Amino acid sequence: MKAQPFHWQEYLIEAVGLGLFMISASLVVAFVELPSSPLRQAIADPLLRRFLIGIAMGLTAIALIYSPWGKRSGAHINPSVTLTFWRLKKITFRDACFYILAQCLGGIAGIWLAGVLIGKAIADPAINYVVTTPGVAGDLVAFLAEFAISFGLMTMVLQVSNRANLSQFTGLFAGILVATYITLEAPISGMSMNPARTLGSAWSAQVWQSIWIYFTAPPMGMLLAAEAYLRLGKKRRNSELCCKLCPNGSTPCISPLCCQQCKL
């Protein structure tokens, strides 16, 4: 039996993808939230400021998903997403492990590079390395919120990516959800959905408050979404389910376990 190759290029893409997302998050939050920023001085309403941050980060997610690199690796940039596709048997265990390792390293490197770009401003309380911590409602509410938004995102991904007439819009819908969640949910939990994203910030800021929430709720929410998808649609077990957020025929799949979408 022929041994499966290591997909080093895809692992690197996953690291770079989350790194770029973290850099973008840091720069956007600095531009919008730093007290010395003209935009911060002009907009007093925190909801409106979060809306602007949400739009910027939603567009960042969309750009990464539809980029040539994102199309190749699948643009998971999130251990929870990778674990879900492994559970659905669309990615091998070895590739899943290296994806997750790359994502974690990318998150840490991204925040470090953001600090190089904006200097001490990244430690300003208004930015604080864009850490994700529970809001005033406490840990339990934050956990439930992270679980709910993660479940919602993966449910959307599975439902949209498996419809031939909608699959190419999966990344667009994902970006819209990211923007919406940042605008409305961020005060509750910080809006992570991503253990590697939270780890990257916590590592640099040395803020480990309630980090268990972000290591458990997002993967649990997404895995439950996958279970619901399978159990509520048993006839779809062998459907054209792809491990990419932008199914395409221009790049190869990393796993022979994947679907026919990438061969269309």
* Domain positions in the chain: 8-263
Rounded to whole angstroms, how far apart are CA atoms 244 and 111?
25
* Contact criterion met (CB below 8 Å) for 157 and 43: no
Model confidence over 80-113: pLDDT tens digits? 999 999 998 889 999 999 999 999 999 999 999 9
Rounded to whole angstroms, how far apart are CA atoms 251 and 263?
9
pLDDT score, position 232: 82
Kindly indicate the confidence band of residue 259, based on its pLDDT and cuts at 50, 70 and 90: low
- 8-263: in CATH 1.20.1080.10: yes
pLDDT score, position 34: 96
Model confidence over 102-111: pLDDT tens digits? 999 999 999 9
Rounded to whole angstroms, how far apart are CA atoms 11 and 15?
6
Residue 177 zone, left/alpha/beta (φ > 0; ψ -120 to 50; rest): alpha
Model confidence over 155-204: pLDDT tens digits? 999 999 888 788 889 999 999 999 999 999 999 999 999 999 999 999 99
Mean local confidence (pLDDT), 240-263: 68
Per-residue burial over 164-187, b if 16 or more Cβ lie within 10 Å, else e, is eeebeebbbbbbbbbbbbbbebbe
